């Protein structure tokens, strides 16, 4: 059990409880996706693993160490690449590891892995959205984290670029043997990439299903097993999303 979320409860200052008693255990090198309706707490959960948010009750352990704050053993990639515009590509990747002796070598190694060696001296505004996201992935990998936390990393990209980055991420994952916790709103993306798809429900946030997928990779969208699983997940999610909508509409006196 590499990453262990133990009876985690999270409430913010307003005492609003995002989730309570949440349990999730992830093995080393596993690729796990989190799917769930907007507001169910996916980003909050990732931030807690990253150590950017505290756990109200319960605990999170990584490699038998309790997580209490942010650290280089957890690399984070967000929906927006959040790069520094005044640094070039290589300097951006080096930024979190700049005190290490081999920072430059490491930056070059991971820029090569995401096929951006040619652009290492460019500034980020000279790159497309997909390329910027690859820089963000290289930056997270250069820290050599034990786990890579990705919060809708391809959510802002077009279908074609997304497809290319899926292939790249699969290769990187196989090459680096990282453990990946990946948040997405795309059922197809989750099923295409993951060993496990964890579906969350809301109000309160909780895990409603955990699918272990052993369909061989690369997975094709028109594969019968893929389609079957997609339907199953879609039915589950639809139920949860409708519940949220109903609650919101009834709150406004519409329903
Ligand atoms: N800093 C905060 N203070 C107060 N409430 C917060 C804070 N951050 C998140 N929340 C609340 O926690 C709940 C979960 O938010 P979170 O961002 O984790 O959802 P999500 O599942 O990532 O949603 P989405 O799919 O829209 O990104 C929401 O109701 C949100 O309003
Ligand atoms: Mg989110």
Measured by CA distance, the residue closest to atom 5 of ligand 1 is 12
| Residue among 36, 41, 182 whose CB has most ligand 1 atoms within 8 A, to mutate | 41
The sign of the torsion formed by the CA atoms of 214, 182, 94, 127 equals positive
Q: What are phi and psi of 178, to 5 degrees?
A: -75, 160
- Mean pLDDT in residue range 25-33: 98
Q: Residue 159 is encoded by which pair of tokens? A: 């279908």
Q: What is the model's pLDDT at position 242?
A: 87
Question: 203: closest CA among 247, 159, 157?
Answer: 247
| Res 246 pLDDT > 90 | no
| Res 255 pLDDT > 70 | no
Measured by CA distance, the residue closest to atom 2 of ligand 1 is 12
Question: How many A from CA of 73 to the centre of ligand 1?
Answer: 24
Of ligand 1's listed atoms, the one at least distance from the Cα of 202 is 21
Q: Which residues form the pocket of ligand 1, taking CB atoms under 6 Å from any ligand atom?
A: 12, 16, 18, 36, 38-44
Measured by CA distance, the residue closest to atom 30 of ligand 1 is 39
CB atoms within 10 A of CB 76: 23
Map residue 235 onto helix, strand or coil.
helix
Tens-digit pLDDT profile for residues 106-116: 999 999 999 99
| Res 40 pLDDT > 70 | yes
């Amino acid at each position: 059990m590499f990453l262990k979320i133990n009876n985690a409860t999270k409430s913010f200052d307003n005492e609003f409880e995002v989730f309570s008693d949440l349990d999730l255990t992830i093995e080393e090198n596993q690729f796990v996706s989190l799917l769930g309706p907007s507001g169910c707490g996916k980003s909050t959960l990732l931030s807690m693993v990253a150590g950017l948010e505290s756990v109200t009750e319960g605990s999170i352990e990584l490699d038998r160490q309790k997580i209490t704050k942010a650290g280089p053993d957890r690399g984070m990639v967000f929906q927006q690449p959040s790069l520094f515009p005044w640094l070039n590509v290589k300097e951006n990747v080096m930024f979190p590891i700049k005190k290490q002796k081999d920072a430059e070598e490491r930056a070059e190694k991971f820029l090569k892995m995401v096929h951006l060696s040619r652009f290492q001296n460019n500034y980020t505004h000279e790159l497309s959205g997909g390329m910027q996201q690859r820089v963000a992935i290289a930056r997270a990998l250069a820290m050599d984290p034990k786990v890579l936390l990705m919060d809708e990393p391809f959510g802002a990209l077009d279908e074609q670029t997304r497809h290319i980055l899926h292939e790249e991420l699969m290769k990187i994952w196989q090459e680096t043997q990282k453990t990946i916790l990946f948040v997405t709103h795309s059922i197809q993306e989750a099923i295409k990439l993951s060993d496990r798809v964890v579906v969350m429900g809301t109000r309160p946030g909780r895990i409603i299903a955990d699918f272990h997928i052993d369909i061989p990779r690369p997975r094709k969208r028109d594969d019968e097993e893929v389609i079957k699983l997609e339907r199953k997940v879609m039915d589950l999610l639809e139920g949860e999303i409708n519940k949220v909508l109903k609650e919101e509409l009834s709150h406004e006196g519409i329903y």
